[in-house]
Every structure is written in C-alpha cells, then in structure tokens.
C-alpha cells in the first residue's frame, strides 16, 4: 500500500521566506511546491488586464467565475494556467504588488481558488510526489487546517523589506501585511496550534534545517 501524502502548510507575511523555504523542502522530501501567492497574483494580473477594478465586486465575481483554472508542473512547482495560459514576470511587478491584496480581500476571488488549491493534493498524487508543501496566508487556517505540519514564518518587517530590496524588487511589504491582516475573509493570522518560527536572525539554510528536522521523522 502506498503511504499517505504528507501536507505541509507554511504561512507568513510578505518576504518572510515562504517560497525559498518551501522550494528547498520540496526538493529535499520530494514534495509538490504550491505557491498560492502566485495564484492570487495571476488572477490580479488577469483582472487588471481586463480593467475590472477591485472596487467593482460584482464584476470581479463574474469575471473570475468564468476563468478556467488548470495546472502544469514547472519543475517541482505547480503553475496555475488561466484559460490555458501561464502568467508572465509581470505578476512580480509593482502594479500587481500594489493591487493584489485588494483583490485577495474579495470573498469571490478567494472562493474561486479554494477548490483549486485543495485539488493540488490530486496533482501531487498524479505526479508521484510524496506530498505537498503549500505556502500562503491562510493555508494552515482555511485551506488545510488538518495539515500534518502547519508553520508560520515571522520576520521583522524592516528585515523583510531589506530582503525584497536585496532582490531588486519594489514592494510595499508593510502595506500588504496591513491589508492582508485586517481583511474579513481569511485574514493573515497565526493559526491556533501552528509552529511559529522567527527568522529575523536566521539564514534561509537555518530555517530549512529547523523545519526539515521536524518533518523528517514523519517520513521515516
Ligand atoms: O511573496 P509574498 O509573500 O510577497 O506574497 P505572495 O505570497 O506572492 O502573495 C501575494 C498576495 O496574495 C498577498 O499579499 C495576499 O494579499 C495574497 N494571498 C492571499 O491572500 N492568500 C494566500 N493564501 C496567498 C496570497
Ligand atoms: O515567499 P516570501 O515572500 O515569504 O519570501 P521569499 O521570496 O522566499 O524570500 C524573500 C527573500 O528573503 C529571498 O531572497 C530569500 O533568499 C531571503 N531570505 C533570507 O534572506 N533569509 C531567510 N531566513 C529567508 C529568506
């Protein structure tokens, strides 16, 4: 009998290290990496291209309900296709950075992604992964509250802004955190019972070792 898939949820604020940590864990343990932030970014880009403002909630709802979402693999990462198309680099740009938290606060946008995100378990199974590591803002609280591991990555906001600047990217880390934490629908919170890690004074490698040390015994 094949062993059950392991589910690892990683949440945290902007530039807290979720994606880098998740990618390295996925490699180490043969997991599907699912960056749900990239899904919100892709939908944001689609809505901006269609000139549907976040203030027009009904139009946002109609538009997202018509989009066909599918998945292809990009290495070990799940890449969301919208009507058969992958997103470009613009989803990491300033325009999407400035708008994504506004669209992500709309319940219809979150609802459009809910089943799609949970469906990544089947994608992991189909491709022979040992499990999945999914990162975002509401993974341990809403998407997979029963995950085998739920981690929350903290880091001082000044340190996080420095990390983004070091990547040469313009981002309003503090403003996105404020919007993500204060929205009504699935706000950014530390889920009850999650393992809290403060990475302000840790290197990426130290964070990965910490998490991997907790995960490894479960995979024996
Ligand atoms: O990489 P970074 O942490 O800066 O952001 P991201 O993970 O790419 O997420 C971009 C935005 O998508 C966040 O600021 C949230 O507004 C939204 N998001 C969300 O609401 N729920 C998730 N599970 C993931 C992202
Ligand atoms: O996915 P998220 O926005 O949470 O963060 P990320 O894109 O994984 O990390 C942002 C940047 O911080 C990357 O360049 C990482 O290499 C770096 N980082 C770091 O310097 N120290 C850590 N402990 C974690 C990440």
Instruction: For helices 173-182 and 157-166, give the axis angle rounded to 10 degrees.
Output: 130
What pLDDT is recorded for position 2?
A: 63
The model's pLDDT over 90-133, given as tens digits with 9 standing for 90+, comes to: 999 999 999 999 999 999 999 999 999 999 999 999 999 999 99
Tokens of 19: 């994606």
Residue 19 CA to ligand 2 centre (angstroms): 7
Q: Could you tell me the pTM of the whole model? A: 0.97
Distance (Å, rounded) from C-alpha 139 to C-alpha 143?
A: 5
pLDDT at 82 over 90: yes
The model's pLDDT over 153-188, given as tens digits with 9 standing for 90+, comes to: 999 999 999 999 999 888 888 899 999 999 999 999
- Helix (H) or strand (E) run with residue 138 in it: none
**CB of 139 sitting under 6 A from ligand 2:** no
The model's pLDDT over 29-44, given as tens digits with 9 standing for 90+, comes to: 999 999 999 999 999 9
Residue 136 CA to ligand 1 centre (angstroms): 6
**CB of 207 sitting under 6 A from ligand 2:** yes
What pLDDT is recorded for position 39?
A: 98
pLDDT mean over 130-153: 98
Q: Kindly report the CA angle at 42 between 207 and 54, in degrees rounded to 5?
A: 110
What pLDDT is recorded for position 180?
A: 96
pLDDT mean over 57-77: 98
Q: Which of 10, 11, 12, 15 is the pocket-test mutation for ligand 2 (most atoms within 8 Å of CB)?
A: 15
Nearest atom, ligand 1, residue 101 CA: 16
At 189, give phi and psi (nearest 5°): -140, 160
Question: Residue 42: CB partners within 8 Å, gap ≥ 6?
Answer: 80, 82, 87, 91
**CB of 202 sitting under 6 A from ligand 2:** yes
Distance (Å, rounded) from C-alpha 144 to C-alpha 65?
A: 23
Where do the DSSP E strands lie in the chain? Answer: 6-12, 31-35, 69-74, 77-82, 131-136, 149-154, 195-198
Residue 172: helix, strand or coil by DSSP? coil
Question: Residue 19: CB partners within 8 Å, gap ≥ 6?
Answer: 35, 37, 135
Distance (Å, rounded) from C-alpha 60 to C-alpha 116?
A: 18
Which CATH number applies to 6-219: 3.30.350.10, 3.40.50.300, 3.40.1190.20, 3.40.50.150? Answer: 3.40.50.300
């Amino acid at each position: 009998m094949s062993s059950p898939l392991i589910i690892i949820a990683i949440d945290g604020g902007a530039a807290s290290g979720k994606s880098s940590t998740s990618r390295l864990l996925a490699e180490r343990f043969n997991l599907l990496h699912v960056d749900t932030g990239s899904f919100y970014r892709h939908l944001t880009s689609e809505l901006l291209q269609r000139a549907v403002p976040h203030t027009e909630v009904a139009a946002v709802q109609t538009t997202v309900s018509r989009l066909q979402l599918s998945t292809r693999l990009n290495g070990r990462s799940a890449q969301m296709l919208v009507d058969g198309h992958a997103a470009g680099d613009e989803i990491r740009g300033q325009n999407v950075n400035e708008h994504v938290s506004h669209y992500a606060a709309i319940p219809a946008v979150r609802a459009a992604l809910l089943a799609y995100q949970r469906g990544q378990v089947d994608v992991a199974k189909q491709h022979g992964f040992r499990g999945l590591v999914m990162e975002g803002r509401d993974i341990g609280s809403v998407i997979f509250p029963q995950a085998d591991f739920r981690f929350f990555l903290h880091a001082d906001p000044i340190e996080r802004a420095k990390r983004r600047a070091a990547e040469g990217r313009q981002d309003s880390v503090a403003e996105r955190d404020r919007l993500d934490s204060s929205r009504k629908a699935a706000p950014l919170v530390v889920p009850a019972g999650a393992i809290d890690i403060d990475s302000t004074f840790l290197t990426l490698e130290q964070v990965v070792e910490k998490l991997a040390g907790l995960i490894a015994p479960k995979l024996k």
